[in-house]
Amino acid sequence: MVRSTTALLLRRILRHSVSNPPTLLRHHHPLFYSSLAASQPSSFVRSRAVSQALERPHSLSSLRFASAKAKPKLSAEENLSKVLDSEIDCAQQESVVQQDELPDGFPFQVVDNPGDQAITLVRKFAGEGIQVSVFMELDDVDDMNEEDEDDGDDDREDGGSSMPKISLIAKIDKGEGRSLEFCCELAADRLHIESMLMKRDDGSSDEGNAYEGPEFSDLDENLQKAFYKYLEERGITSSLHGYLHDYMIQKEDREYLTWLKNIKNFIDN
């Protein structure tokens, strides 16, 4: 009896299990899926990640490398030509149009041959031919500007000028086969005679071993003043400095630009 009752109960339990499976197997909780996905990515997730990696654009460094590799390297001549172009552009932007008008009362005509470092002032005076060669070293201008920055207060106290000095060679010719030549230094506030010499028309000194006179600074003071007066009467004074300074600065700019263009033409051809 006990056995039959036990068997009957066992059969009922088995039938109930088959017809009604556990809820856990039929209805999984959402947390089950999320934990499963986190611990074991599906094949779909893995394939999607690979696809995105393949579709992602190249990094910036890769593009730069490719660009640098593809760009041909300039030769030395091409690089020099490119730098010259840049310098020419800068020089053209900084250049100033030369003023052809002479200041009122300026006694000379200006002879300016392109390519020459100097200019020449010419005039006639009382039957004399006067030529004044004008030089100005632009390096001296930069040096003076640096000195002015260091000693600006002293210059202002002493009334000094930052304007550069100009070298003059004044030749006075009377058409008699000889000429008198003065080597001068022209500053903004004064003219200084450094030396003087008699010359023949061929440009040589009066005599090969002839006596040329003492140093100008050793001459009697009254004689020195007379020579200064002699030059002043012919228009050679410190008043020339302002115009000549501006002119020589502009000439330097023009000559530099021409020089750059000549070099560029040589390199390119």
269 residues of the chain, pLDDT tens digit each: 444 555 555 555 555 554 455 444 444 444 444 444 444 444 544 455 545 545 555 555 555 555 555 567 789 999 999 999 999 999 998 877 766 688 888 999 999 999 999 999 999 999 999 999 999 987 655 555 555 555 555 554 444 456 678 999 999 999 888 899 999 999 999 999 999 999 887 766 555 677 888 999 999 999 999 999 999 999 999 999 999 999 999 999 999 999 999 999 999 99
pLDDT of res. 206:
53
User: Which of 3.40.50.11890, 3.40.50.620, 3.10.280.10, 3.40.50.2020 would CATH assign to domain 109-262?
Assistant: 3.10.280.10
pLDDT tens by residue, 212-243: 889 999 999 999 999 999 999 999 999 999 99
pLDDT of res. 235:
97
pTM of the model: 0.65
Domain ranges of the chain: 22-59, 109-262
pLDDT of res. 245:
95
pLDDT of res. 234:
98
* Beta-sheet strand order (sheet of 191-200): 109-111, 119-125, 128-135, 166-173, 178-186, 191-200
Q: How far is CA 223 from CA 142, 218, 226, in A?
A: 36, 10, 5
